Amino acid sequence: MENSIHVKNLSFRYSVGTPFETTAINDVSFAVQKGDFIGIIGHTGSGKSTLMQHLNGLLKQTCGEVWVNGRNIRAKGVNIRDVRFEVGLVFQYSEHQLFEETVFKDIAFGPRNMKERFKLTDKQIEKRVLTAANFMGVHESWLQRSPFDLSGGQKRRVALAGVIAMQPQILILDEPAAGLDPLGREKILRFISEYHQKAGITVILVSHSMEDIVKHANKVLVMNKGEVFCYEKTEKVFAKADEIIEIGLGVPQITRLCQKLKGRGVDLGKNVYTVEKAVERIMEIHSNSGDYSQLN
Ligand SMILES: Nc1ncnc2c1ncn2[C@@H]1O[C@H](COP(=O)(O)OP(=O)(O)OP(=O)(O)O)[C@@H](O)[C@H]1O
Ligand SMILES: [Mg+2]
C-alpha cells in the first residue's frame, strides 16, 4: 500500500538561539497509508499542532524529512504551494478565518486561489462549493448569508467546507470539535467520517477525546512530550491502556469499566474500546458459560 505521508526523524525547535528555545517535537517518525483515518492524541503542549504544521510545509523542520505522496516536500524542484493543495489543514477554531461577505464566497476562497494553477472554470468552482457544502451539512439557504450570522458549529462547518472544496487528497484537522456542545461535536465528526469514506481520502484528526478518536480512526498515534509514545491500530492501542493512563491520558470509559471488571475476575479481553465490542464479548462469555455468574 502506498504511503500518503511519511515522516522521518522529524525534530523542531521554536525560537532557536534565544532564551525561549523549546524542543516541540523530537525525532518523530511514522507513516500514513492512503485512505487511513489516523487519530492523534496527547497532552497540551505534546507537539500535536507543531507536527501537523510540518505536514503541509507551514513550518520547516530543524531536522528530519516529510514525504507527501512519495516525494520529500523540501527537495529541490518541489513547489510547496502544490503540497498545500494536496494537504488541506484545518486549524483549531477554524471559523476565526472566515472573512467574506457570504458563506458561498468563503467556501469558494480556496478553489479561487487554485483557479489559475488548475485551470478551474467558474462553473467548476461553483460545483466544488455546492458539493463541499453538502458534505459538511451547510444548507443551501445559508450560502448567500453572512457567515457571521451562523452559530458556532455552523461556522466551523463552513470553514471545513472551504478546505474540502479544494479537494485535498489528505485532510488534517486540528481539534475540529473543540469548544462545541456534544451535539455539535457529534455532527461535525460524523460529517468528517462520512466524507472520509465517500471521498476515499486520507484523514488525520487531532483530538483530546479518546472516545471521539476510537469511534472514527483506524490507527492511533499517541504523542507524549514531543515524541511518539505509541502508534498502533485502534484495536491494538488499548492493550497499552495501563501505560496510557500512566502518562496521564484518558482511555474510553468502556475500557476503564473493562479494567474494573477484570479486577473482579471477568476478563473481556484487552482491546475492548467501544460499548458494542463490550456487549459482543459479554454475549460470548454468556454463551460459553451458559450463565452470567461470571459477571456478578
Ligand atoms: N509559536 C510558538 N512559539 C514558541 N513555542 C511554541 C509555539 N507554539 C508552540 N510552542 C511550544 O511547543 C510545544 C508544543 O506545542 P503544540 O502547540 O504543538 O502542542 P499541542 O500538542 O498542539 O498542544 P494543545 O493540545 O494545547 O493544542 C509546547 O511546549 C509549546 O509551548
Ligand atoms: Mg494544538
Range of the domain at 290: 252-296
**Is 190 a domain residue?**
no
Query: Which pLDDT tens digit goes with each residue over 12-65?
Result: 999 999 999 999 999 999 999 999 999 999 999 999 999 999 999 999 999 999
Distance, CA 287 to ligand 2 centroid (Å)? 46
Pairing mode, strands 87-90 and 219-224: unpaired
> 148: closest CA among 200, 79, 96?
96
Tell me the three cell numbers of residue 63. Answer: 531536522
Secondary structure (H, E, C), the chain: CCEEEEEEEEEEEECCCCCCCEEEEEEEEEEEECCCEEEEEECCCCCHHHHHHHHCCCCCCCEEEEEECCEECCCCCCCHHHHHHHEEEECCCHHHHCCCCCHHHHHHHHHHHHHHHHCCCHHHHHHHHHHHHHHCCCCHHHCCCCHHHCCHHHHHHHHHHHHHCCCCCEEEEECCCCCCCHHHHHHHHHHHHHHHHHHCCEEEEECCCHHHHHHHCCEEEEEECCEEEEEEEHHHHHHHHHHHHHCCCCCCHHHHHHHHHHHCCCCCCCCCCCHHHHHHHHHHHHHHHCCCHHHC
Point out the ligand nearest to the CA of residue 48. 1
Give 290 or 251, the one with higher predicted confidence. Answer: 251
Mean per-residue pLDDT, 214-229: 95
pLDDT of residue 37: 98
State the pLDDT confidence band at 290, using cuts at 50, 70 and 90.
Answer: low
Average pLDDT over residues 256-276: 84
Euclidean distance between CA atoms 161 and 190, whole angstroms: 14
pLDDT of residue 258: 85
pLDDT of 177 > 60? The answer is: yes
Q: How far is the C-alpha of 222 from the C-alpha of 234, rounded, in Å?
A: 11
Residue 62 Cβ inside 6 Å of ligand 1? The answer reads no
Residue 273 lies in a domain: yes
Distances (CA, A) of 4 to 170, 203, 235: 7, 10, 22
What's the confidence (pLDDT) of residue 296? 47
- What integer pLDDT is reported at residue 248 of this predicted model? 85
- In this structure, is residue 72 part of a structural domain? no
| Number of domains, the chain | 1
- pLDDT at 238 exceeding the cut of 90: no
Q: Residue 264: inside a domain, yes or no? A: yes
The verdict on residue 204 lying in a domain is no
Give residue 210's pLDDT band: very low, low, confident or very high (50, 70, 90): confident
pLDDT of 55 reads 97
Average pLDDT over residues 111-131: 94
Say if residue 293's pLDDT is above 70: no
Specify if 292 maps to a domain: yes
| Smallest-distance ligand from the CA of 45 | 1
Ligand 1 pocket, 179 CB below 6 A? no
Which of 50, 58, 89, 223 maximizes ligand 1 atoms within 8 Å of its Cβ, making it the mutation to test the pocket? 50
Residue of 46, 52, 249 with the most ligand 1 atoms within 8 Å of its CB, for mutation: 46
pLDDT at position 23, please? 97
Position 271 scores a pLDDT of 73
Say if 293 falls within a structural domain.
Answer: yes
Average pLDDT estimate for 172-191: 93
Q: Is the CB of 28 under 6 A from ligand 1?
A: no
Mean pLDDT of 179-186: 90
Give strand pairing partners of 222.
Answer: 41, 230
**In the predicted model, what is the mean pLDDT of the chain?**
92
15 lines ligand 1 (CB under 6 A): yes
- 65: CA distance to ligand 1 center in Å? 20
> What mean pLDDT do residues 205-222 have?
93
Give the pLDDT of residue 292: 55
Q: Does a structural domain hold residue 139?
A: no
Please report, to the nearest 10 degrees, the dihedral formed by the alpha carbons of residues 58, 62, 65, 66 taken in order: -20
Stretch among 99-108, 145-154, 177-186, 249-258 having the lowest mean pLDDT: 249-258
